[in-house]
Amino acid sequence: MDKLVSLCKRRGFVFQSSELYGGVGSVWDYGPLGVELKRNVKDRWWRAMVHARDDIEGIDAGILMHPRVWEASGHVATFTDPLVDCKTCKARFRADKLMDAQCPQKPSKHPGEHTTCQLTEPRQFNMMFKTFMGPVEEQAAVVYLRPETAQGIYVNYLNVLQGSRQKVPFGIAQIGKAFRNEITPGNFIFRTREFEQMEMQFFVRPGTEDEWFETWRHQRWQWHLDLGLTPAKLRWYQTKPEELAHYAKAAYDIEYEFPFGWNEFEGIHNRTDYDLKRHQQYSGKKLEYFDQERNERYLPYVVETSVGADRCTLALMCDAYHEEQVEGETRVVLRFLPALAPIKAAVLPLVKKDGMPEIAERIYHDLKGRCTAFYDDGGSIGRRYRRQDETGTPFCITVDGQTKEDGTVTVRHRDTLKQDRVAADRIAGWVLERVV
Ligand code: ATP
């Protein structure tokens, strides 16, 4: 993990927020390469969940919502984690995650394991961030930064139904920021206080939810495989009844084996009609669906798929990171699927003379408008290849002595180190075919 964090900073994937001021431990900023990687993940999710399907619509709801939304959803009353304080070292821990935490006292042990530890009884701590809407800081003006994007979907479910041609079963998808005042954020971008979720709520006829739950479990598993994640590092975790969120009847997590252990990065939840029922009750407005084919009214049940864009990006980076020995040197390489790589191709003139830079620039500009490309003419070719390996660029295009003779360039493949020759005037199309 330390190696990955340091690579992320060095190459511009992820920086600590406000580092200039000592940093904020629970927030991270994506740099030029990180933002491309995360955007590719989100675009891929949107394509699979919205564009490729006839039965899902997208929305983009506000982060701030009417405070009653969070009363109705149950978050004001129950979106809590159990918190314990240590009277000796003054540190705070999640009571249900003591075995994942470290007591600040040396030698390194879990909280409660030193004879001097004095842990308090757990008390419930609400994880929603509060702020005030308007100029007056009073109770009546309290609003929350949303802790999940799902509620923006529920309160818009009828609007979407009316404005589209959808019929139950159908889904609504959304990508957006969520905020949780986590007691113990950590493990880089794994657990932060500000993060992005990619959530889809699928509305179904009561009685069909178990079948849809299985369908969505299958689809979401396949999506992760298609990202190129190592199958042996993925597994299901079935949430135990006592661990279920207040809204859920059943839940499965997709876990990835991060360097710090197996952990959830997507949840598939059977949320029943809990949310719609509560919004109907709290708003006093009917949210029932009239099923014309069956001539019946009902509140749809909901199957939710919820994946963190940041945790998914972290899983991809952990999975892609490889160190290997090449000609007596250690090569660090990020083996992203070409479609996910932040930079698709680097264009490198072998030397800065003999007309090579002019040809290389032409190729670079031809590529640039159609995919992310990088031009590099500094340093030995071997060093330039290594720099691209570290950022996960799948193809390096080198303009060399032979280019002027026969109009071909060298294409060097990141994973196999194999080199091919491709006609310079076809190279842009060649790259584009391989990076979608
Ligand atoms: P955890 O048990 O790790 O706190 P959770 O079960 O509360 O997670 P959900 O409420 O199911 O998580 O949220 C769905 C997804 O949102 C998670 O699978 C994860 O990818 C992402 N997510 C949740 N909390 C965070 C966080 N603090 N930082 C980054 N991503 C998060």
The CA distance from 294 to 96, in Å, is: 46
- Whether 307 is in the pocket of ligand 1, judged by its Cβ within 6 Å, is yes
Predicted confidence at residue 90, as pLDDT, reads: 87
Predicted confidence at residue 184, as pLDDT, reads: 84
- Nearest CA residue ID for atom 8, ligand 1: 264
* 305 touches 33 (CB < 8 A): no
Predicted confidence at residue 304, as pLDDT, reads: 98
- Whether 384 is in the pocket of ligand 1, judged by its Cβ within 6 Å, is no
- Nearest CA residue ID for atom 16, ligand 1: 308
Domains 2-77+134-317 and 343-434 share a fold: no
* 99 touches 110 (CB < 8 A): yes
pLDDT tens digit string along 187-208? 999 999 999 999 999 999 999 9
* Cα 374 to ligand 1 centre (Å): 35
- Nearest CA residue ID for atom 3, ligand 1: 264
Residue 25 has pLDDT above 80, yes or no: no
The CA distance from 307 to 227, in Å, is: 14
- Whether 180 is in the pocket of ligand 1, judged by its Cβ within 6 Å, is yes
pLDDT tens digit string along 99-146? 888 898 888 899 999 999 999 988 888 999 999 999 888 888 899 999
What residue type is 98 in one-letter code?
L
Residue 389 has pLDDT above 90, yes or no: yes
- Say if domain 2-77+134-317 classifies as CATH 3.40.309.10: no
* Burial of 60 from C-beta contacts in 10 A (0-12 / 13-18 / 19+): exposed
Residue 280 has pLDDT above 80, yes or no: yes
Torsion of Cα atoms, 189 then 309 then 237 then 76, to 10°: 80
* Cα 310 to ligand 1 centre (Å): 10
Predicted confidence at residue 139, as pLDDT, reads: 85
* Cα 46 to ligand 1 centre (Å): 19
- Nearest CA residue ID for atom 23, ligand 1: 308
* 117 touches 108 (CB < 8 A): no
The beta-carbon contacts of 138-145 under 8 Å, at least 24 apart in sequence, are 142/67, 143/64, 143/65, 143/67, 144/64, 144/65, 144/67, 144/70, 144/75, 145/63, 145/64, 145/179
Predicted confidence at residue 436, as pLDDT, reads: 83
Break the chain into its structural domains and give their ranges.
2-77+134-317, 80-126, 343-434
- Nearest CA residue ID for atom 28, ligand 1: 191
Q: Which ligand 1 atom is at minimum distance from the Cα of 191?
A: 28
pTM, two decimal places: 0.93
pLDDT tens digit string along 48-80? 999 999 999 999 999 999 999 999 999 999 888
Predicted confidence at residue 61, as pLDDT, reads: 98
- Nearest CA residue ID for atom 14, ligand 1: 306
Superfamily name with CATH number, domain 343-434: Anticodon-binding domain (3.40.50.800)
- Whether 304 is in the pocket of ligand 1, judged by its Cβ within 6 Å, is no
Q: How far is CA 157 from the centre of its chain?
A: 24
- Whether 306 is in the pocket of ligand 1, judged by its Cβ within 6 Å, is yes
